[in-house]
């Protein structure tokens, strides 16, 4: 059981950061079924997604709605994607995901996003902490030149309630919210993730609801882009 009644008491930023990092996911694989709602003002759709993660190696996704809509395979060096529905594909760097979220992101950060962990290593830089809405709000003492970043750490299990990246100059904001968690094999794992990406005159909302989650299973992450598909130019 996750005890949600714990009240955030005064704690040093160093200790909050240490406790958050100690909750890092330590299983080899994740296999999950999700419901995903996507809305960017132009496209609004709900799809079923199979997700397979081999930690630090691969994030494999397949989206279906009656038929297979897309498949994606993400590794630390490459993003591969194709859509049997649109008959197009993409193969290259993380620019496709960066365009979607409005921030630069690498494989480890994307993996952390799905696992309820901070996009940045909170132990690497000196953090400040204050308590707001019963979360420990960590932020680097010295924020980056271009953006500010904030992590809201839950006092019950020290995973994230929320993380935000704000670029006031470019009028961009990314909020990743974790409304709830569940215990799976003694691991605290997100039940829901809400991503809200705002840029000057557009927005993207992606809501993930985890239906099933299993760890350390055997699965196949083979991936081949079919012949004759059109290359997506971003």
Token pair for 148 = 């500010």
Q: Which pLDDT does position 138 carry in this prediction?
A: 96
Task: Determine the Cα–Cα distance for residues 11 and 110; give it in Å rounded to an integer.
Answer: 28
| CATH superfamily of the domain spanning 13-221 | Lipoprotein localisation LolA/LolB/LppX (2.50.20.10)
pTM: 0.95
Q: Is there a contact between 228 and 92 (Cβ–Cβ < 8 Å)?
A: no
Domain positions in the chain: 13-221
What is the mean pLDDT of the segment spanning 155-176?
Answer: 94
Q: Which pLDDT does position 86 carry in this prediction?
A: 93
What is the mean pLDDT of the segment spanning 197-217?
Answer: 95
Q: For 129-161, how does the pLDDT look when each residue is reduced to its tens digit (9 = 90+)?
A: 999 999 999 999 988 777 899 999 999 999 999
Token pair for 30 = 């994740």
What is the mean pLDDT of the segment spanning 172-189?
Answer: 96
Write the CA distances from 53 to 15, 188, 205, 228, integer angstroms: 29, 16, 22, 28
Q: Would you give the distance in Å from CA 214 to the centre of its chain?
A: 18
Q: Which pLDDT does position 145 carry in this prediction?
A: 74
DSSP string, 52-105: EEETTTEEEEEEEESEEEEEEEE-SS-EEEEETTTTEEEEESTHHHHHHHSS--
Q: Which pLDDT does position 182 carry in this prediction?
A: 96
Token pair for 19 = 């406790």
What is the mean pLDDT of the segment spanning 158-168?
Answer: 95
What is the C-alpha end-to-end distance of the chain, expressed in Å? Answer: 45
Q: What is the 3-state secondary structure (H, E, C) of 110-133?
A: HHHHHHCCCCCCCCCCCEEEEEEC
**Range ranked top by mean pLDDT from 15-19, 121-125, 143-147, 170-174:** 15-19
Range 42-50, long-range pairs (CB < 8 A, 24+ positions): 49/208
Write the CA distances from 114 to 30, 52, 140, 181, integer angstroms: 10, 11, 22, 12
Write the CA distances from 162 to 141, 172, 196, integer angstroms: 19, 17, 11
């Amino acid at each position: 059981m996750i005890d949600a009644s714990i009240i955030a008491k005064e704690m040093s930023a160093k200790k909050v950061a240490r406790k958050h990092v100690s909750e890092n996911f330590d299983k080899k694989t994740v296999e999950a079924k999700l419901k995903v709602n996507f809305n960017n003002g132009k496209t609004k759709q709900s799809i079923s997604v199979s997700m397979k993660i081999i930690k630090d190696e691969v994030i494999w996704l397949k989206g279906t709605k009656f038929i297979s809509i897309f498949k994606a395979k993400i590794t630390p060096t490459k993003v591969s994607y194709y859509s049997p529905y649109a008959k197009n594909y993409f193969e290259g760097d993380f620019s496709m995901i960066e365009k979607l979220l409005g921030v630069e992101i690498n494989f480890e950060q994307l993996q952390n996003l799905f696992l309820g962990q901070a996009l940045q290593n909170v132990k690497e830089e000196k953090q400040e902490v204050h308590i707001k809405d019963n979360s420990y709000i960590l932020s680097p003492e010295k924020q980056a030149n271009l953006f500010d970043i904030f992590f809201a750490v839950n006092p019950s299990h020290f995973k994230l309630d929320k993380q935000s990246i704000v670029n006031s100059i470019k009028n961009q904001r990314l909020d990743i919210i974790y409304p709830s968690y569940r215990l799976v094999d003694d691991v605290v794992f997100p039940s829901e993730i809400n991503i809200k990406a705002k840029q000057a005159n557009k927005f993207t909302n992606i809501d993930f609801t985890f239906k099933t989650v299993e760890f350390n299973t055997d699965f196949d992450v083979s991936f081949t882009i079919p012949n004759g598909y059109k290359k997506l130019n971003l």
